[in-house]
Amino acid sequence: MPSPTDEFFDELNQRGYDPLVARVEGTLRFEVAHRGTTDVHNVTVDRGHLSVAPSGGRADCVIRVDRSVFDSIVSGRSNAMAALLRGALSAEGNPEMLVIFQRLLSPAPSRVRDEAVTTVAGW
């Protein structure tokens, strides 16, 4: 069974175009550690067009994280910026690309469902 991390990168590669990053150009390299090995994924954003490659080439921002933490982030249970502040995730390079990464995350299904039924009064 694939991990949430694997599913995230597969979905991102299949997404193709995302209007939330339509004005962005850059590359993020994710170094995801798990059981003594490190999986590397380069995510290229070219004016909204997304592609994922399993390589360690040039990147504007390098994000290093343990897979359990990354699973939690991509599944919506944790926040990437909070993980950065706790030291559970590290980022080198252009910090704006970390914000771009957060735009690529889809909201957790339970949050979407709860927001859809909440009234103006909050009931």
Contact (Cβ atoms closer than 8 angstroms) between residue 8 and residue 90:
no
Please name each of the domains of the chain with its CATH number.
Answer: 4-117 (3.30.1050.10)
pLDDT digits 0-9 by tens, 36-77 = 999 999 999 999 999 999 887 889 999 999 999 999 999 999
For residue 80, give the nearest of 58, 57, 64, 60 by alpha carbon. 64
Please give the average per-residue pLDDT across 109-123, as a whole number. Answer: 46
β-bridge mates for residue 28, sequence order: 43, 61
Contact (Cβ atoms closer than 8 angstroms) between residue 80 and residue 98:
yes
